[in-house]
Copies of this chain bind each other. A is one copy, B any other.
């Protein structure tokens, strides 16, 4: 039985019990959300995950960190180090987006070592195999697509990004309504190029039932990818994006019918004043399916700081109801991220998700701020540092700049307002 089937039979699986306790929620609630398609628990039935999680309505906003080799940099040890750092700083899931080196070996290592759910974009391996075997990464067949899905499923992958919404119809919308940037999704572009070259429909769409069969068999969560996500804020919420979203809504319905867990991927680059609308549209069109957004970036000009431009959008999206944030690192648009870039990205997202969760009214999150503020009032520096989102950095900053007076900081020194008020409030 898949987790949805358990939920539909009102049975609580051991996994749901574990997740509920980790979420500080109730098994009954998680089960209800699964049943209604409003939450997912990505966990391949072949894999035991140390820290599984539920992603969905009313739950703590989750964060995904992308790791994986590139064609230029393919040291798996770096990627494992990134995974370690990301999980330490609050990533709830990781996605292995490797395209360099021995993909299967890398994936297996990540799956063996990851304490959190692992996702992939199988079309990458399909393209990389074609490149290796046939010298052309677009030379793959529909059959080969499903072979890779099956083999990744057997390896234990917990969730798949499937770009099934890049279809003749959504590509038609893209061609009809000019964009500044066309497709910026790597998987989306591979499929669009394949379709264009072969004059065929997208096999992931046309044979979506085969995707469903594999997902059902291994209880893999499908993350319906947004190949048409805008890559410039000028393209946001345009006909191509909406055409694809409608297709994803239809496919989400088919997932539910087959008892396959599903979430929906979203943009991308979106101006601040269109984020609310984007969340509302997804929730309406996809009947409350969890929304997994990449950022969104609220401007196109912040290369080098896209962890910030996208943490702004991510915080806002989550506060409006997005459930799952895919981090963006400072190296976005410039280079394959370093371990340090990954750390900066995940911390920025921890802040964004936490700020949104406070806005959503998740009580346990507010306790963290209360504890910090109490430590701040007491000028208990050890505690303030321990409670910081990144204690190492906070500790480094403090020790780099020691005040003459031990109980204040070098910003205000003896003019510390908190210290001053201690006396004043007693009077």
Residues of A within 8 A of B (CB): 70-73, 99-100, 124, 127, 131, 137, 175, 180-186, 188-190, 192-193, 196-197, 231-235, 271-273, 298-305, 307-309, 311-312, 315-316, 319, 330-337, 347-348, 351-352, 354-356, 358-359, 366, 368-370, 372-374, 376-377, 384-385, 387-390, 393-394, 397-398, 400-401, 403-404, 409-418, 420-421, 423-425, 427
Q: How far, in angstroms, from A376 to B301 measured CA to CA in the complex?
A: 10
**With A184-B417, A301-B351 already in contact, 6 other A-B pairs whose C-beta atoms are closer than 8 Å:** A182-B418, A192-B420, A193-B420, A301-B389, A304-B390, A308-B311
Min CB gap A296→B, angstroms: 11
Contact A300 B372 (CB under 8 A): yes
**Residues of chain B within 8 A of A376, CB atoms compared:** 181, 231-232, 300, 333
Pairwise interchain contact B184-A369, C-beta atoms closer than 8 A: no
Instruction: List residues of chain B with CB within 8 A of the CB of A359.
Output: 271-273, 298
**Complex alpha-carbon distance, A302 and B385, angstroms:** 10
Max count, chain B CB within 10 A of own CB: residue among A72, A234, A376: A72
In the bound complex, residues from chain B placing their C-beta under 8 Å from that of A389 are: 301-305
Q: Which of B70, B303, B312, B369 contacts A412 (CB 8 A)?
A: B70
Can you give 24 A-B contacts (C-beta < 8 A)?
A70-B411, A73-B401, A131-B414, A181-B373, A186-B412, A189-B418, A190-B417, A192-B420, A192-B421, A193-B424, A196-B423, A233-B366, A272-B319, A298-B315, A299-B369, A300-B373, A301-B387, A305-B351, A311-B312, A330-B397, A333-B411, A335-B409, A336-B411, A337-B411
Which B residues touch A304, using CB under 8 A?
388-390, 393-394, 397
Report the nearest B residue to A199, measured CB to CB: B427
Say which residue of B70, B189, B348 sits within 8 Å of A420 (CB atoms): B189
Instruction: Flag if B355 contacts A423 (CB, 8 Å).
Output: no
**A221, chain B: closest CB distance, angstroms:** 24
Residues of B close to A332: CB separation below 8 A: 411
Chain A binding site: helix, strand, loop or mixed by DSSP? helix
Q: Would B421 and A180 count as touching, CB distance under 8 A?
A: no
Q: Out of B235, B272, B333, B427, which one reaches A355, CB within 8 Å?
A: B272
Which residue of B189, B319, B420 contacts A421 across the interface (Cβ within 8 Å)? B189
Cα A330 to Cα B48 in complex, Å, equals 39
The 9 A-B residue pairs whose C-beta atoms are closest, nearest first, are A71-B413, A189-B417, A335-B401, A232-B373, A273-B359, A298-B355, A304-B393, A336-B410, A72-B410
Closest to A235 in B: B373
- Of B73, B301, B330, B427, the contact of A368 (CB 8 Å cutoff): B301
Most chain B beta carbons < 10 A, residue from A197, A308, A398: A308
Q: In the complex, what residue of chain B is closest to A411 when comparing beta carbons?
A: B336
A331: B residues at CB distance < 8 A:
397, 401, 411
**Chain B: CB-nearest residue to A189:** B417
Establish whether residues B384 and A271, one from each chain, have CB atoms under 8 Å apart when the complex forms.
no
Contacting pair A397 B355 (CB below 8 A): no
A368: nearest chain-B partner, CB-CB:
B301
Contact residues in B for A235 (Cβ distance below 8 Å) = 373
User: How long is the Cα–Cα vector from A271 to B360 in the complex, in angstroms?
Assistant: 10
Cα separation A188 to B196 with both chains bound (whole Å): 66
Q: What's the minimum C-beta distance from A170 to chain B, rounded to whole angstroms?
A: 13
Chain B residues, Cβ within 8 Å of A300 = 369, 372-373, 376
A351 with B299: in contact, given A70-B412, A410-B335 (CB under 8 Å)?
yes
Q: Shortest beta-carbon distance, A207 to chain B, in Å?
A: 22
Task: Choose from B192, B315, B411 the contact partner of A272 (Cβ within 8 Å).
Answer: B315
